[in-house]
């Protein structure tokens, strides 16, 4: 989210001695970097890289993190989507990782010929050796770092809380991540990775689910649902229902509570311009209609005369055709069979019926019959005119979606991922601990 990123260049890099470690939290969603001993990281940004082309000069530049979209208009971002160095929660693209580290160190204020501080960097649980080795190679060889330590972020957090008395020395750490969720048991203050459990569901899946649900529900506004916007919506409005079924029932019944819980997002909408005063021809037409209404007999007479003329003409043509005019060619546009069998009045009725289905808003005078065409050609179909769009059409309602999306963390089956959810993982994790930890289990 834009409002948690901060990447001002720090100016106090040189005040820290060479022994102060730099701490990096290399997460799949956000990259945080700061100094050891402080409570907050100094620089936070989204862990993505874009390589757009500058529109004016044509050179390809690198932009790290999420930035103000207003500034990005100078760049052609169509070819290059944002790229991440992560595949699930493991770093595999080290070129992108290098761009990110460049940016992170640069914003931390690094100067000098190499990074002269020990680095503490986080990795995923049971990180494959290859990934860890390439990361170490990058840090040592490109940045000249004196020493590197790797750790799991959940373990650090647990130790910190233990030191502050919030957690006991035995406990369970549940960490939902961007693409994965882990449950790690701790015994005697040490993480037992043998009992650790990982499910491949995370914040990314929740946001993706919400995005697709909204796109399917409001297909006309699909362009509005960018991933970043949906993530903001998720952060602000989604919540976890203690009991999904009863909450869903509230909404199904349409109770007042459900109404209160429904959030509405009004998209910018411009009301259509006010109707102008009717023009000359409109007035004339309306007068003609009024006249026919007043003298229905006269009108009917006129209609009957016209009908007779036309039906005679149709009969004549039929006779001509029957008399062997077969090689005349098809001078009936739009099909031979049906167009000829219907006579003019029937055809007109059909036309009115079909267009009446579309003309919901426009008033149709049923007695008004437009000028009948002479000839078998079908009159051109009218453009179907829908009712004018109202303010309600531009409202996005978030009701059930608010708690349906985070529910997938507990039931990954809802998105087709056949693994245990958060609640079950706790059980799985404890069961995986070896038998000598049975005593702990019983506690």
Partner 1 sequence: MEPEVMKAELVLPTHLSFKRVQMYEKYPKGQARGRHWKHLKQILQAENFQNYLADEPNYVNIESSPSMHPCKRICDITGFEAPYFDPRTNLRYASADIFKIVRSLPNEYVQRYLALRNAAVVLK
Output the smallest distance, CB 7 to partner 1, in A: 9
Output the smallest distance, CB 159 to partner 1, in A: 19
Comparison of 339 and 399: residue with beta carbon closer to partner 1 = 399
Comparison of 103 and 292: residue with beta carbon closer to partner 1 = 103
Cα separation, 419 vs 379, in Å, equals: 61
- Cβ proximity of 250 and 258 under 8 Å: yes
Output the smallest distance, CB 420 to partner 1, in A: 5
First to last CA, the chain: 41
| Cα distances (angstroms) measured from residue 367 to each of 289, 381, 420 | 9, 19, 68
Comparison of 303 and 428: residue with beta carbon closer to partner 1 = 428
Comparison of 140 and 307: residue with beta carbon closer to partner 1 = 140
Comparison of 344 and 425: residue with beta carbon closer to partner 1 = 425
Output the smallest distance, CB 258 to partner 1, in A: 11
Comparison of 30 and 209: residue with beta carbon closer to partner 1 = 209
| Among 109, 84, 113, residue whose Cα is nearest residue 26 | 84
Comparison of 231 and 401: residue with beta carbon closer to partner 1 = 401
- Cβ proximity of 440 and 170 under 8 Å: yes
| Among 242, 217, 247, 243, residue whose Cα is nearest residue 230 | 217
Task: Indicate if the alpha-carbon torsion angle 208, 213, 215, 221 is positive or negative.
Answer: negative
Sequence-separated contacts (24+) of 60-63 with Cβ below 8 Å: 62/99
Cα separation, 179 vs 165, in Å, equals: 30
Comparison of 344 and 409: residue with beta carbon closer to partner 1 = 409
- Cβ proximity of 410 and 262 under 8 Å: no
- Give burial (CB, 10 Å; 0-12/13-18/19+) of 430: middle
DSSP run (H or E) holding 288: helix 280-294
Output the smallest distance, CB 236 to partner 1, in A: 19
Output the smallest distance, CB 133 to partner 1, in A: 11
Output the smallest distance, CB 29 to partner 1, in A: 17
Cα separation, 346 vs 344, in Å, equals: 5
- Rounded to 10 deg, the angle between the 296-322 and 344-358 helix axes is 120
- Cβ proximity of 397 and 162 under 8 Å: no
Output the smallest distance, CB 103 to partner 1, in A: 6
Output the smallest distance, CB 191 to partner 1, in A: 10
Comparison of 55 and 341: residue with beta carbon closer to partner 1 = 55
């Amino acid at each position: 989210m834009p409002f948690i990123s901060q990447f001002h260049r720090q100016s106090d890099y040189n005040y820290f001695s060479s022994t102060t470690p730099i701490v990096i939290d290399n997460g799949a969603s956000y990259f945080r970097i700061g100094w050891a001993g402080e409570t907050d990281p100094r620089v936070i940004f989204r862990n993505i890289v874009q390589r757009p082309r500058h529109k004016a000069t044509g050179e390809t530049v690198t932009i790290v993190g999420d930035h103000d979209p207003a500034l990005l208009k100078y760049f052609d971002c169509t070819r290059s989507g944002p790229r991440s160095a992560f595949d699930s929660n493991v770093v595999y693209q080290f070129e992108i990782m290098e761009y990110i580290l460049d940016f992170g160190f640069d914003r931390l204020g690094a100067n000098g010929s190499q990074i002269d501080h020990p680095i503490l960097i986080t990795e995923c649980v049971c990180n494959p050796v290859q990934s860890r080795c390439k990361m170490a190679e990058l840090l040592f060889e490109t940045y000249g770092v004196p020493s590197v330590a790797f750790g799991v972020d959940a373990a650090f957090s647990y130790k910190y809380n233990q030191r502050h008395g919030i957690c006991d020395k035995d406990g369970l750490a549940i960490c939902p991540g961007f693409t994965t969720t882990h449950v790690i048991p701790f015994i005697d203050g040490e993480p037992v990775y043998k009992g650790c459990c990982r499910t491949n569901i995370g914040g990314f899946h929740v946001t993706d689910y919400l995005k697709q649900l909204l796109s399917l529900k409001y297909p006309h506004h699909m362009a509005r649902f960018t991933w970043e916007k949906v993530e903001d919506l998720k952060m602000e409005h989604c919540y976890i229902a203690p009991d999904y079924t009863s909450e869903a029932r509230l909404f199904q019944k349409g109770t007042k509570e459900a109404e209160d819980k429904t959030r509405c997002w009004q998209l910018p909408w411009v009301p259509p311009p006010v109707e102008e005063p009717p023009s000359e021809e409109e007035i004339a037409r309306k007068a003609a209609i009024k006249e026919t209404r007043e003298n229905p007999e006269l009108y009917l007479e006129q209609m009957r005369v016209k009908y007779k003329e036309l039906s005679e003409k149709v009969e004549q043509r039929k006779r001509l055709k029957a008399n062997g005019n077969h090689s005349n060619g098809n001078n009936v546009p739009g099909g031979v069979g049906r167009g000829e069998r219907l006579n003019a009045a029937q055809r007109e009725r059909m036309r009115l019926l079909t267009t009446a289905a579309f003309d919901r808003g426009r008033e149709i005078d049923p007695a008004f019959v437009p000028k009948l065409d002479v000839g078998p050609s079908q009159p051109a179909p009218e453009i179907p005119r829908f009712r004018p769009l109202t303010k309600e059409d531009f409202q996005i309602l978030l009701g059930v979606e608010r708690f349906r999306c985070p529910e997938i963390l507990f039931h990954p089956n809802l998105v087709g991922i056949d693994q245990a959810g958060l609640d079950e993982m706790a059980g799985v994790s404890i069961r995986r601990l070896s038998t000598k930890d049975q005593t702990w289990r019983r506690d």
